Structure 1
Amino acid sequence: MATPTLLANTQTGTADAMASPAPSSSTSSSSPRGWRHWPEQAWWPWVTRGFAAAFFAVVAGLIFRQGRTVDWPAVLQALRDLPTTALAVGGALALLSHFTYGSFDWVGRHCSGHRLTRTTTLAIAMTSYPFTLNLGSLIGGVGVRYRLYARRGVDPGTIGQVVGTSIVTNWVGYLLLAGVLAWTWQPPALAGWAVESWQWRLGGTVLGCLPLAYVAVCALRSGRALTLRGHEFPLPHWPVALWQVTVSAANWMLMGAALWTVLQHQVSYPAALATVLLGAVAGLVLRVPAGLGVLEAVGVALLASQALGQEEVLAALLAYRALYYFGPLVLAAVALGVAELRWRRQANLGAESSAEQKI
């Protein structure tokens, strides 16, 4: 008797479903509105790709135009004429910047609680950083750093937290300096295009307020994770967040000081710092390894003038690249090679000892 009852209920439900009106197409196809839901729209990826393509076209045009007009023999002569003292001081500032960047992982060590010593943590960060600069974050920030941490027994989740904390630390200081720079330096007109002073300062002020908002959120959350759309983002206590902003800003300022020194103070320090900051973003957007050619194009466009020719500027930028990018990469490759040989030797000794124990 149960079967007819189920059949009757099914037929009744089907009839009710057929009788009930279908939802209107406008309701089912309606999409959320408001700027917060823009990334969910179908047109959003095309907009972001359009901005990236336009930025790429502008920088690529600068590189092509400047490459055709450069007197390369004059650049080489200007490179030879650079004072040894300026190169030595610039190299020392570059080394100090790499040390400062390596201390970012101390913040990750504090937040994740892994047991490696400060010296080991600093060595790992300073070894991976040149690979990140020259070969991209996938090889340096992820590949080399993960390998070095994993070799010492740190689990992948903790490594990911350390890497994420380092990335946040790097950019909060950048944003703060971008806000300060907007009030101390005005970019020259490029290709007939200039930014109004109030527009430049307004944009910089917005960027500079972001790290301050980050510190405020950390203070309000008191170390509790921030949940956005079901994802948890761990936040440090506000003194740690304030330290992140401070040490990151110091690192970017050291990078600008290294370039300023190699330029022999022939330009203002804010102009040298702006070259480093804008060159970093341009290289990140264009995804060129080490920003090769991008930093040089940005530097020549911003710094070359009647008092300082583009050959002298380009020579200083090439020297800065050698001091900050290529030199540390050689040292990091040697350190990584020595560590790999030591690990393999220890692995072979462990295999031999285990074989002897079996015998």
Structure 2
Amino acid sequence: MSDAKESKPANRRMRWAKGALTLFFFIAIPVLLYFQLRNIDWQEVSGALRDYPIWLLVGAFGVALLSYLTYCCYDLLGRYYTGHKLPVRQVIPLVFVCYAFNLNLNALVGGVALRFRLYSRLGLDVPTIARVFSLSIITNWVGYLWLAGAVFALGMVQLPEGWAIGNVGLRLIGVAMVIAAVMYVLACAFSTRRSWQIRDQTIELPSWKLALVQAAVGALNWSLMAVIIWLLLPAEAFYPSVLGVLLISSIAGVITHIPAGLGVLEMIFLTLLQDQMPKSSLLAALIGYRAIYFLMPLGIALCVYLVLEKRAKTMRSANTVPDG
């Protein structure tokens, strides 16, 4: 009897916590979207897109869709890694929504909070969600280390004179990045200790085969993002240079913590590529890239998010094994 009495206040607090979290999302997300979208010059976006042939925009949007699907594979790898039984048809739209919100708002809302909320509503427990999320983060940055390390080490990006790092320094950084990525795979292959306990969470090394798949999938996604910008640039644009500049600007955006990297992406591209092509062409391509890769998916993701919120209970009850 005493256990039952003690569980009632705990259940009541849990219901209050879930209600407060729901209220937070339904208030915070519209507010964050408003502040983010009000700073966009929609006439500029529309003008930039009108200057491109329709076939090119369709191709760029197709590459963007492929990139989003590639990112969804991060969590599908997490599904394999944890062994949870949520259907793939539920995981893909969930991750699509989180990625679009992550890109346009910030990692805390889209990457963390929204992922935990939607997964938990579909029946996954917190430890399983944490393991899926951690594997997704590692997949993204292991792919980045492999790809950026190779691009920098091979000298595919030439820094302007006066930059503190310098071209030699950038090459050395690239070598160090490749070494770090190799060390991760070696640890997955040969480490005798496979798991660590951090508070209530267990961190477990994946197999070396899964680590290699992580590297390939993560690198592919970064590569596809650069393809979109490259397609929108003039014909003389050199893809490896575009890729390298995107990789530099992405890490700069993470460091500055600016949602969607507003201003950072443009500054890095103009600084590093303005001697290779007109500034107007660069700006048009970057505006088009933001519209195709950030804004259009955000509109779709908002609709998908509302559907997920509405159908979450039905989808959860349809899962035969709801947690990991």
Question: 1:199-249: per-residue Cα shift (whole Å, max 9, x none)?
Answer: 221111011111111001000037822579999631101100110001101
User: For 1:316 and 1:123, how far apart are their aligned partners in 2?
Assistant: 28
User: For 2:125 and 2:45, how far apart are their aligned partners in 1?
Assistant: 49
For 1:268-347, what aligned pairs fall within 5 Å after superposition? 268-305=238-275, 308-343=277-312
Residue in 1 that maps onto 2:12? none
The alignment status of 1:248 with 2:248, answered yes or no, reads no
User: For 1:343 and 1:214, how far apart are their aligned partners in 2?
Assistant: 36
Residue in 2 that maps onto 1:8? none
Return closer, same or farther for 1:278/1:240 CA change in 2, 3 Å cut-off: same
**1:137 CA drift (Å):** 1.1
The code of the aligned residue for 2:304 comes to: A
User: For 1:129 and 1:312, how far apart are their aligned partners in 2?
Assistant: 28
RMSD of the TM alignment (CA)?
2.6
Could you say what secondary structure the match of 1:233 adopts? strand
Work out the number of aligned pairs and report it: 272
Unpaired segments ≥5 residues, structure 1:
1-72, 348-359
Residue in 2 that maps onto 1:186? 157
User: For 1:132 and 1:234, how far apart are their aligned partners in 2?
Assistant: 25
Residue in 1 that maps onto 2:178? 208
Could you say what secondary structure the match of 2:163 adopts? coil
Contact 1:188 1:194 in 2 (8 A): no
Contact 1:105 1:162 in 2 (8 A): yes
The code of the aligned residue for 1:210 comes to: A
Contact 1:108 1:166 in 2 (8 A): yes
Return the match for 2:125 from 150, 155, 160: 155
Larger radius of gyration: 1
Residue in 2 that maps onto 1:96? 66
Contact 2:143 2:214 in 1 (8 A): yes
Following TM superposition, where does structure 1 have runs of at least 4 consecutive aligned residues deviating by more than 4 angstroms?
73-79, 226-232
User: For 2:116 and 2:145, how far apart are their aligned partners in 1?
Assistant: 27
Contact 2:97 2:305 in 1 (8 A): yes
**1:81 CA drift (Å):** 2.1
Residue in 2 that maps onto 1:109? 79
The alignment status of 1:177 with 2:147, answered yes or no, reads yes
Contact 1:189 1:195 in 2 (8 A): no
Aligned residues with identical type, % of pairs: 39
Could you say what secondary structure the match of 2:104 adopts? helix
TM-score for both structures, normalised by structure 1: 0.70
Contact 2:226 2:242 in 1 (8 A): yes
Unpaired segments ≥5 residues, structure 2:
1-42, 316-324
For 1:256-275, what aligned pairs fall within 5 Å after superposition? 256-275=226-245
Question: 1:176-203: per-residue Cα shift (whole Å, max 9, x none)?
Answer: 111111104132316x436544322111
User: For 1:122 and 1:153, how far apart are their aligned partners in 2?
Assistant: 16
Could you say what secondary structure the match of 1:181 adopts? helix
Contact 1:108 1:165 in 2 (8 A): yes
User: For 2:284 and 2:164, how far apart are their aligned partners in 1?
Assistant: 26
Contact 1:86 1:264 in 2 (8 A): no
